């Protein structure tokens, strides 16, 4: 028999959303709710970083409402923050919460009064036995011309080192081996508290509370030399960097209002590789930003081609309402944007293959993850190479030494 205290939760977008969804789920479970395939409440944690993400959210809500017409759909997150009125008009939507007050969803479902919105609420994911996404920062003060995140997430704000360490202790006690430090602008950690990301990483390193720590996407101008040096000497903080470039053209970077130029970015990558030659460096790129000429794109392609990076995250520019870039009269044709995206994706594949191949016949420490596919388990090395391992369940959530071969690179 269906009860009122059942829910399901569906998450779109970034690791930050996943940490917050897990926090909400955990709080509901602690207060007598249960997860169900035929729930009374369906929670959708939305994303609005691209037009495609918004469309995906609309389609998901529509699909879930068709499948569970009696359920009350609650949409939370960035899309409902940016356009609550539109989201509330979707068929089946019972209630919306934005990014700042999504924590009050729990109070509402428990029938409690909704307290004042906290300046920052911490969250971490705990659905996986091997890895947790830990929110340490939220919001952004950068206001790049293509991005709505600053509007959707608000001003930059952070947790404290003391509370982050308390969360890491709790994560460790759950048996989780790896923590990914997440936020909108992680490098801005401590902006309001007078603390710094370097100080946090130093405390984590000295604590020996967790086996592995990864830093999520960090702006190149906030990835300091002292952080890179700390990673080079650490057994805890993994040699894995995710750094947004967005364009290899200085003209385009200026139009985006990014806080660096291509020369600075190149020097940062070269410095990492100089002291951490095995490091994985993932890079974000946007194709088709308004005014990006063929020459600008070729500059980007050639720039990336000659950088010692490991792979790319490629995003096709899409208009975000209310941003300066969306008002530009120099919009790029969709066919040109797709062509440029495909070229960079192909370059990314080549970069990744080159990066993987240099470690064939070497031994790396691999954290074996849950989930079996075609009778294989999967895991990642310290420098984020994906490896497949014969299915041995006793290896799940263990860090083992693996000799990398052409056969076990996934």
Above pLDDT 90, what percent of the chain?
83
Taking the whole predicted model, whether its pTM rises above 0.85 is answered as yes
Query: Does one domain contain both 90 and 55?
Result: yes
In which domain, by residue range, is 398 found?
363-403
Last-in-domain residue among 51, 82, 109: 109
Handedness of CA 111, 112, 116, 118 (dihedral sign): negative
Q: How open is the CA angle 129-27-216, to the nearest 5 degrees?
A: 50
Q: What does the pLDDT read at residue 50?
A: 87
CA distances from 331 to 42, 79, 309 (A): 38, 23, 29
* Nearest alpha carbon to residue 215 among 39, 15, 38: 15
Residue 182: burial class (beta carbons within 10 Å; 0-12, 13-18, 19+): buried
> Has residue 54 been placed in a domain?
yes
> Has residue 115 been placed in a domain?
no
Give 40-69 pLDDT, tens digit per residue. Answer: 999 999 998 888 888 999 999 999 999 999
Query: Does one domain contain both 284 and 342?
Result: yes
Cα–Cα dist 313/288, whole Å: 14
Beta partners for residue 379, in sequence order: 368, 387
Spell out the SS3 assignment of 235-275.
CCECCEEEEEEECCCHHHHHHHCCCCCHHHHHHHHHHHHHH
> Has residue 346 been placed in a domain?
yes
Q: What does the pLDDT read at residue 108?
A: 87
**Mean of the per-residue pLDDT values of the chain:** 94
> Has residue 408 been placed in a domain?
no
Give 166-206 pLDDT, tens digit per residue. Answer: 999 999 999 999 999 999 999 999 988 899 999 999 999 99
Q: What does the pLDDT read at residue 372?
A: 67
Query: Does one domain contain both 351 and 376?
Result: no
Q: What does the pLDDT read at residue 51?
A: 86
Give 296-305 pLDDT, tens digit per residue. Answer: 999 999 999 9
Contact indicator for 227, 197 with CB cutoff of 8 Å:
yes
Q: What does the pLDDT read at residue 2?
A: 52
Cα–Cα dist 17/125, whole Å: 9
> Has residue 284 been placed in a domain?
yes
Give, for 207, the enclosing helix (H) or strand (E): helix 197-207
> Has residue 116 been placed in a domain?
no
Listed range (101-115, 210-224, 260-274) with the worst mean pLDDT: 101-115
Query: Does one domain contain both 180 and 32?
Result: no
What's the CATH code of the domain at 163? 3.80.30.20
> Has residue 269 been placed in a domain?
yes
Last-in-domain residue among 357, 374, 394: 357
Give the confidence band of 357 by pLDDT, cuts at 50, 70, 90: very high
Q: Which of 120-129, 317-326, 390-399 reaches the highest mean pLDDT?
A: 317-326
Residues 6+ away with beta carbon under 8 Å from 154: 99, 100, 138, 139
Query: Does one domain contain both 368 and 249?
Result: no
SS3 assignment, position 359: coil
Query: Does one domain contain both 98 and 134?
Result: no
379 pLDDT more than 70 = yes
Above pLDDT 70, what percent of the chain?
99
Q: How many domains does the chain have?
A: 3
Query: Does one domain contain both 328 and 386?
Result: no
Q: What does the pLDDT read at residue 1?
A: 41
Query: Does one domain contain both 58 and 136?
Result: no
36 pLDDT more than 60 = yes
Q: What does the pLDDT read at residue 376?
A: 87
Q: What does the pLDDT read at residue 3?
A: 61
SS3 assignment, position 58: helix
100 pLDDT more than 50 = yes
> Has residue 325 been placed in a domain?
yes
Query: Does one domain contain both 370 and 247?
Result: no
Query: Number of H helices and number of E strands within the chain?
Result: 13, 18
Query: Does one domain contain both 150 and 182?
Result: yes
Query: Does one domain contain both 90 and 181?
Result: no
Query: Does one domain contain both 208 and 225?
Result: yes
């Amino acid at each position: 028999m269906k009860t009122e205290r059942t829910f399901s939760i569906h998450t779109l977008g970034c690791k930050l959303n996943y940490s917050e969804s897990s926090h909400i789920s955990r709080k509901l479970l602690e207060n007598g709710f249960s997860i169900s395939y035929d729930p009374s409440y369906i929670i959708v944690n939305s994303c609005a970083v691209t037009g495609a993400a918004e469309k995906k959210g609309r389609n998901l809500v529509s699909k879930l409402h068709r499948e569970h017409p009696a359920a009350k759909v609650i949409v939370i997150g960035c899309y409902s923050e940016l356009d609550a009125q539109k989201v509330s008009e979707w068929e089946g939507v019972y209630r919306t919460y934005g990014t700042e007050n999504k924590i009050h969803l729990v109070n509402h479902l428990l029938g409690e009064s909704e307290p004042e919105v906290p300046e920052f609420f911490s969250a971490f994911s705990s659905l996986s036995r091997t890895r947790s996404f830990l929110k340490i920062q939220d919001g952004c003060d950068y206001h790049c011309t293509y991005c709505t995140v600053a509007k959707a997430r608000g001003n930059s704000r952070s947790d404290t080192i003391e509370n982050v360490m308390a969360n890491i202790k709790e994560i460790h006690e759950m048996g989780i081996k790896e923590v990914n430090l997440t936020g909108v602008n992680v490098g801005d950690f401590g902006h309001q508290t007078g603390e710094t990301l370097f100080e946090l990483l130093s405390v984590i390193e000295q604590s020996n509370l967790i086996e592995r720590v990864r830093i999520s996407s960090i702006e190149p101008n906030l990835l300091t030399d002292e952080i890179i040096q700390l990673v080079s000497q650490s057994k805890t903080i993994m040699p894995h960097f995710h750094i947004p470039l967005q364009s290899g053209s200085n003209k385009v970077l200026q139009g985006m209002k990014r806080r660096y130029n291509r020369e600075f970015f190149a020097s940062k990558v070269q410095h990492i590789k100089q002291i951490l030659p095995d490091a994985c460096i993932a890079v974000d790129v946007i194709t088709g930003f308004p005014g990006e000429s063929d020459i600008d794109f070729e500059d980007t392609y050639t720039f990336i081609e000659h950088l010692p990076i490991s792979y790319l995250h490629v995003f096709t520019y899409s208009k975000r309402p209310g941003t300066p870039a969306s008002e530009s009269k120099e919009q790029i044709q969709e066919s040109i944007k797709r062509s440029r995206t495909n070229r960079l994706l192909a370059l990314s594949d080549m970069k990744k293959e080159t990066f993987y191949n240099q470690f064939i016949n070497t031994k790396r420490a691999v954290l074996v993850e849950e989930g079996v596919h075609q009778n294989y388990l999967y895991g990642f090395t310290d420098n984020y190479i994906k490896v497949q391992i014969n299915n041995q369940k006793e290896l799940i959530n263990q860090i083992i030494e693996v000799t990398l071969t052409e056969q076990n690179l996934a």
